[in-house]
Structure 1
Amino acid sequence: MRLRTLTAIASIVTFGALAVPAANAQEGKLKIGAAVYGLNAEFMQLWANAAEKHPAVTSGKVDLTVFDGRYDALVQQDQFETMITQGYDAIVFVPIDVDAGATAVQLAHDAGIPVVGSNTRVNSDLLTAYVGSDDVKAGYMEAKTVLDKMGCQGDVVIIEGPIGQSSQVQRGEGNQKALAACPDVDVLEKQTANWSRAEAQNLMENWLTAHGSDIKGVIAQNDEMALGAIEAIKAAGLKVDDFAIAGVDGVTDALHAVKAGSMATILQDGAAQAQGAIDVAIKAVDPSYQPMSNVWQKYPDMAWDNGDKREYDVPWTPVTLDNVDALLSERQ
Structure 2
Amino acid sequence: MNKLFKTIISASILSVALASTAYAKPYKIGAAVYGLKGEFMQMWVDQLEKHPAVLDGTVDITVFDGRYDALTQSNQFDTMITQKFDAILFVPIDIEAGGDAVEKANEAGIPVIGSNTKVTGDSLYSYVGNDDVKAGEMQAEAIAKAIGGKGNIVIMEGPIGQSAQIERTQGNQTVFAKYPDIKILEQKPANWSRAEAMTIMENWLTSHPNAINAVVGQNDDIGLGGLEAIRAKGIELNTIPTAGIDGIKDGIQSVKDGELYVSFFQDAKAQAQGALDVALRKLEGESYQPRSVIWQEYADQMPWGDGTAKRYDIPWTEITKENADRLLQKLSE
Report how far residue 259 of structure 1 moved: 1.1
Aligned counterparts of 1:289 and 1:168: Cα–Cα separation in 2:
34
Contact 1:90 1:114 in 2 (8 A): yes
**Residue type matched to 2:275 in 1?**
A
For the residue of structure 2 that corresponds to 1:84, the secondary structure is: helix
Q: 1:281 aligns with which of 279, 282, 304?
A: 279
Following superposition, which runs of at least 4 residues in structure 1 exceed 4 angstroms of deviation? none
Report how far residue 122 of structure 1 moved: 0.4
For residues 159-200 of structure 1, give each alpha carbon's deviation from its aligned partner in whole angstroms, at most 9, with x where no partner exists.
Answer: 000000000000001001110221111000000010000000
Aligned counterparts of 1:56 and 1:27: Cα–Cα separation in 2:
13
Aligned counterparts of 1:101 and 1:214: Cα–Cα separation in 2:
39
Aligned counterparts of 1:303 and 1:331: Cα–Cα separation in 2:
22
Q: Percent identity?
A: 54
TM-score, with length taken from structure 1: 0.91
Report how far residue 86 of structure 1 moved: 0.7
Aligned counterparts of 2:119 and 2:144: Cα–Cα separation in 1:
30
Alignment match, 1:321: 321
Report how far residue 330 of structure 1 moved: 2.6
TM-score, with length taken from structure 2: 0.91
Report how far residue 28 of structure 1 moved: 2.8
For residues 116-172 of structure 1, give each alpha carbon's deviation from its aligned partner in whole angstroms, at most 9, with x where no partner exists.
Answer: 000000013121100010000000001111110100121100000000000000000
Alignment match, 2:203: 206
**Residue type matched to 1:274 in 2?**
A
Aligned counterparts of 2:75 and 2:270: Cα–Cα separation in 1:
27
Aligned counterparts of 2:292 and 2:106: Cα–Cα separation in 1:
26
Aligned counterparts of 2:123 and 2:203: Cα–Cα separation in 1:
43
Contact 1:67 1:79 in 2 (8 A): yes
Aligned counterparts of 1:40 and 1:124: Cα–Cα separation in 2:
28
**Structure 1: tracts of 5 or more residues without a match:** 1-25
Root-mean-square deviation (Å): 0.9
**Residue type matched to 2:79 in 1?**
T
Alignment match, 1:306: 306
The alignment of Structure 1 onto Structure 2 pairs a total of residues equal to: 307
Contact 1:32 1:92 in 2 (8 A): yes
Alignment match, 2:179: 182
Alignment match, 1:161: 158
Q: 2:146 aligns with which of 140, 144, 149?
A: 149
Alignment match, 1:330: 330
Alignment match, 1:11: none
**Residue type matched to 2:242 in 1?**
I
**Structure 2: tracts of 5 or more residues without a match:** 1-22
Q: 2:93 aligns with which of 93, 96, 102?
A: 96
Q: 1:191 aligns with which of 168, 188, 191?
A: 188
Alignment match, 1:9: none
2:65 is equivalent to residue 61 of structure 1: no
2:264 is equivalent to residue 266 of structure 1: yes
For residues 222-278 of structure 1, give each alpha carbon's deviation from its aligned partner in whole angstroms, at most 9, with x where no partner exists.
Answer: 000000000000111111110111010011111111011111100011110100000
For residues 100-130 of structure 1, give each alpha carbon's deviation from its aligned partner in whole angstroms, at most 9, with x where no partner exists.
Answer: 1111101100000000000000013121100
Alignment match, 1:294: 293
Contact 1:269 1:314 in 2 (8 A): yes
Alignment match, 1:21: none
Contact 1:105 1:124 in 2 (8 A): no
Alignment match, 2:231: 234
For the residue of structure 2 that corresponds to 1:186, the secondary structure is: strand
**Residue type matched to 2:26 in 1?**
K
2:111 is equivalent to residue 119 of structure 1: no
Where does 1:132-143 land on structure 2 (aligned, <5 Å)? 132-143=129-140
For the residue of structure 2 that corresponds to 1:271, the secondary structure is: helix
Aligned counterparts of 1:60 and 1:216: Cα–Cα separation in 2:
52
**Residue type matched to 2:325 in 1?**
D
**Residue type matched to 1:297 in 2?**
Q
Contact 1:279 1:291 in 2 (8 A): yes
Report how far residue 27 of structure 1 moved: 4.3
Aligned counterparts of 1:128 and 1:286: Cα–Cα separation in 2:
14
